[in-house]
Structure 1
């Protein structure tokens, strides 16, 4: 199986920072997710910043948001693109305290899941427009709005992707 160079967008943190006008720091950690047996039980093992990954590999993307100011920050948007050659899987377990919003148009518009889109299909020889659910694998960008982050507080947000 072909090995892929793992150069997923560390700049995602830069994208998130560019979209926030407040004094925050962002630290993005991407980890390869492996399932290993420990005492006969399947356990997840995370390998931070892997050099190479294979198609089908699952990656955990976790961004730590730190308020570096001495004041509480409110309504703080944090946006991460789903890297090219990957597809969104799900919110990272344990980091789902805030509702994520998703985009299928590269971050132009966002909505909570389930997203809907209109498609034109042919039924009985006629074109018909139908509204259908968007599959999570079609998400291009994820955004959270942090309602409040106290002075010097941190918050972790994240999701999992799969390499195509």
Structure 2
């Protein structure tokens, strides 16, 4: 597991604290997900900190946001890009209570809740026509979670699944 500590100003806009006094710690992890047979039943097996990926491997990308301060943090925004060479597949686990999930198809510049829409231009009867179409999850490039409230000393683990191209 990798630990990444970000300044609070990145996670909580509008709240200024002394530099280096971040009450938010982010732990990043990656696990290989495999389907194995246990007692004749298909079961999911996870191999943590898996680094030798091959095309087709299914991985869980997770981030644990931990409040190390003595007070509740509000509207904590945590962004995680879809790694290069991978395709977003699905959320990892169920939606966490008190967390809003949004997705980006422009490298993390803008985010919106699913399903995302985009405009495309097609030719119909010799004329260019603009249509709005739903974006497939495989086109997602980043995920942002906004945690409404993260009480002192607590943590939330969030994540998604990707497949190696």
Distance 1:16 1:55 in 2: 35
Gaps of 5+ in 2: 13-21
Distance 1:55 1:72 in 2: 42
Classify 1:45/1:78 alpha carbon distance in 2 versus 1 (closer, same or farther; 3 Å).
same
Which residues in structure 2 correspond to 1:22-101 (within 5 Å)? 23-97=23-97, 98-101=99-102
> Which region of structure 1 is more displaced relative to structure 2, 137-146 or 97-106?
97-106
> What does residue 113 of structure 2 align with?
112
- Residue deviations 1:56-100, cap 9 Å, x none? 110001111100111100000000000000011111123544331
- The reply to whether residue 156 of structure 1 matches residue 157 of structure 2 is yes
> Which region of structure 1 is more displaced relative to structure 2, 136-145 or 47-56?
47-56
Count of residues in Structure 1 that have an aligned counterpart in Structure 2: 154
Q: Return the TM-score normalized by structure 1.
A: 0.87
Classify 1:115/1:26 alpha carbon distance in 2 versus 1 (closer, same or farther; 3 Å).
same
Deviation at 1:23, TM superposition (A): 1.6
The 8 Å contact of residues 15 and 79 in structure 1, kept in 2 or not, is answered as no
Deviation at 1:17, TM superposition (A): 7.2
Distance 1:51 1:104 in 2: 26
Deviation at 1:50, TM superposition (A): 1.4
Question: Secondary structure, in 3 states, of the residue corresponding to 2:11?
Answer: coil
Q: Return the TM-score normalized by structure 2.
A: 0.86
> What does residue 10 of structure 2 align with?
19
Gaps of 5+ in 1: 1-9
- Which stretches of structure 1, 4 residues or more, deviate above 2 A after TM superposition? 13-19, 94-99
Distance 1:79 1:129 in 2: 31
Distance 1:16 1:68 in 2: 13
